[in-house]
Structure 1
Amino acid sequence: MQNDVWQRPVNTSVTAVSSAFEALDLLDHHWPNIKGPRFIKARYACLAALDGRESAEAAREKFKDAVAEAQLM
């Protein structure tokens, strides 16, 4: 499992997230009931980044989109 730290954390209204592992934890356990298409893409991207199938920065961008979709900024 890869858990590369992002170059810049994503700030949410809940916490600052600095890796795909932290993002996945937030998505799975602390996310509001707003689970749209960007949530799904972010979750899969974070899993893929942890498996080494996608870059950490690509997962960060998809997570950032999900944060915007859920209005957690």
Structure 2
Amino acid sequence: MDTLPWSRPVRFETDVGRYRILVSTEEASHFLLNDWPQVTGPRLIDARRICLDVMAGTDEPDNARTAFVAACKEADIRVMP
């Protein structure tokens, strides 16, 4: 299972004035499965699949990061630069 950090962390707003920082596919996978808001869509499904692929060793960690950011945008979750 991949536990290496991403090349850059992702900082995003979980509630007004509350932020969270994720640094790895493992953290993103946990958030996507346990803490994701009720919003669903194709980018969420892609992000979950890619996280599983990375943890299985068949994809690259930064692809999970990119997919996580895309899912955030789809759900109108504000990602900090």
- Normalising by structure 1, we get a TM-score of 0.94
Matched, 1:7 2:7: yes
- Deviation sequence 1:8-66 (CA, Å, 0-9, x none): 11111131111111001110110001110000000000111111100001111011100
Q: Which runs of 5+ in 2 are unaligned?
A: 15-19
What is residue 51 of structure 1 aligned with on the other side?
56
Matched, 1:38 2:36: no
Structure 1 runs, 4 residues or longer, greater than 2 Å off: none
Report sequence identity in percent. 36
What is residue 17 of structure 2 aligned with on the other side?
none
Higher strand share: 2
Structure showing greater radius of gyration is 2
Higher helix share: 1
Equivalenced residue count is 73
